[in-house]
């Protein structure tokens, strides 16, 4: 297999991975928004309306689970119960009490939020950011997400990331063992959320990935809020954190963006190296401390075992 074909296959794997993971996480995020907004809305209804909502919910859920009734509905976890309640309120034309959002379509509230602790936290932060409202489920986050899902170090996707499936790939290249994919003109994943949230448009994107893996580790973007003309150079690291490097209208030229994105990549590697060096230093200090303690312990034992004169 020649190198160009292999490079194309790797690029395709990265694209498939990115789209699959991003959309999977986004579905959970939408379900989390729906359930959280439903809880806040339901808690603020009068008792008569609450009763109507529960009755409508019980009309809906037999299509999913014939054994579910009023008693068993109350025994469901919050994120399951309010997922169904959201559907009922939507059918009853009860608007969300969180003004920035409309009801979202969620296929199955039983399975939508399995291992979704991170997405629930993201949704909680978004509701607070957009409307200043705090809403929590009664269960701790650990009841929603598994230990594996909350401790893994893989690339984490957030709703503000670009939907690369709707973008256009313009270039791929390799620097050492790092592969780079360049895209243009993509909306954010959050554009698929019904409501009044501001959305981002991504003029250019660079996905960086290690060639021995189809998983990205850095995403550099030139982006703007739809309706605004200011372009910002930004990056998403492997924790999903969105870094903004400021206004850069000079990067609307593709070659200039590519050059600047690679500089961001170089800084990322520099930071990684510094972190690795610091971690190694800490490990070395701990090792030396352990040796000193062991020597002190041995000296103490020898002193105790010395024959008294």
Per-residue pLDDT tens digits for 164-176 = 778 888 888 888 7
CB within 8 Å of 52: residues ≥ 6 apart: 92
176-190, 246-260, 295-309: lowest mean pLDDT where? 295-309
What domain range is 212 assigned to? 153-309
Predicted pLDDT at 309: 58
Tens-digit pLDDT profile for residues 27-56: 788 888 889 999 999 999 999 999 999 988
Tell me phi and psi for residue 287, to 5 degrees: -65, -45
Query: Mean pLDDT throughout 193-212?
Result: 78
Residue 221 and residue 236 in one domain? yes
- From 151, 166, 198, the end of a domain falls on 151
Query: Mean pLDDT throughout 4-29?
Result: 63
Tens-digit pLDDT profile for residues 105-155: 777 776 777 777 778 887 888 788 777 888 888 764 434 444 344 334 466
Residue 136 and residue 23 in one domain? yes
Predicted pLDDT at 244: 92
Of 75, 81, 7, 11, the C-alpha closest to 50 is 81
Distance CA 267, CA 218 (A): 11
Tens-digit pLDDT profile for residues 252-280: 999 999 999 998 988 887 766 565 666 67
Q: Say yes or no to pLDDT of 178 above 80.
A: yes
Six token digits for residue 160: 């503000």
Number of domains in the chain: 2
Q: Say yes or no to pLDDT of 231 above 50.
A: yes
Percentage, residues of the chain above pLDDT 90 = 20
Residue 158 and residue 294 in one domain? yes
Residue 163 and residue 271 in one domain? yes
Residue 26 and residue 124 in one domain? yes
Predicted pLDDT at 140: 47
Q: b/e string for 221-245 if b means 16 or more Cβ within 10 A?
A: bbbbeeeeeebbbbbbebebeeeee
Q: Say yes or no to pLDDT of 20 above 80.
A: no
Predicted pLDDT at 76: 79
CA distances 116 to 28, 123, 163, 179, Å, are: 6, 11, 20, 30
Q: b/e string for 17-38 if b means 16 or more Cβ within 10 A?
A: bbeebbeebbbbbbbbbbbbbb
pTM of the shown model = 0.57
Distance CA 18, CA 24 (A): 10
Predicted pLDDT at 196: 59
Distance CA 8, CA 13 (A): 9
55-64, 196-205, 282-291: lowest mean pLDDT where? 55-64
Q: How confident is the model at residue 19 (pLDDT cuts 50, 70, 90)?
A: low
Distance CA 304, CA 307 (A): 8
Query: Mean pLDDT throughout 54-65?
Result: 74
Residue 62 and residue 76 in one domain? yes
Six token digits for residue 206: 């660079």
- From 131, 151, 171, the end of a domain falls on 151
Residue 275 and residue 132 in one domain? no
Residue 167 and residue 136 in one domain? no
Residue 304 and residue 160 in one domain? yes
Residue 9 and residue 78 in one domain? yes
Higher pLDDT, 204 or 304: 204
């Amino acid at each position: 297999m020649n190198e160009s074909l292999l490079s194309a296959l790797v690029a395709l794997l990265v694209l498939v991975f990115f789209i699959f993971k991003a959309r999977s996480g986004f579905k959970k995020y939408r379900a989390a928004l729906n359930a959280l907004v439903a809880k806040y809305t339901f808690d603020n209804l009068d008792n008569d309306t609450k009763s109507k909502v529960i009755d409508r919910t019980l009309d809906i859920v037999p299509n999913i689970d014939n054994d579910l009734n009023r008693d068993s509905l109350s025994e469901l976890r919050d994120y399951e119960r309010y997922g169904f309640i959201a559907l009922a309120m939507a059918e009853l034309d009860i608007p969300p009490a969180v003004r920035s959002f409309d009801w979202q379509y969620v296929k199955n509230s039983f399975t939508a939020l399995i291992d979704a602790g991170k997405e629930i936290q993201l949704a909680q932060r978004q509701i607070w950011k957009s409307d200043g409202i705090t809403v929590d489920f009664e269960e701790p986050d650990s009841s929603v997400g598994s230990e594996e899902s909350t401790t893994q170090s893989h690339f984490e996707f957030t709703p503000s990331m670009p939907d690369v499936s709707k973008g256009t790939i313009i270039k791929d290249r390799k620097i050492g063992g790092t592969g780079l994919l360049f895209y243009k003109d993509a909306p954010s994943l959050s554009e698929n959320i019904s409501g009044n949230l501001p959305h981002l448009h991504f003029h250019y994107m660079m996905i960086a990935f290690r060639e021995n893996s189809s998983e990205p580790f850095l995403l550099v973007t030139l982006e703007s809020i739809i309706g605004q003309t200011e372009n910002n150079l930004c990056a998403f690291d492997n924790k999903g954190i969105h870094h903004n490097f400021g206004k850069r209208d000079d990067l609307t030229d593709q070659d200039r963006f590519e050059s600047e994105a690679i500089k961001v990549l170089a800084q990322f590697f520099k930071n990684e190296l510094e972190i690795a060096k610091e971690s190694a230093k800490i490990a070395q200090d701990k090792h030396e401390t352990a040796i000193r303690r062991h020597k002190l312990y041995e000296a103490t034992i020898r002193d105790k075992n010395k024959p008294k004169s």
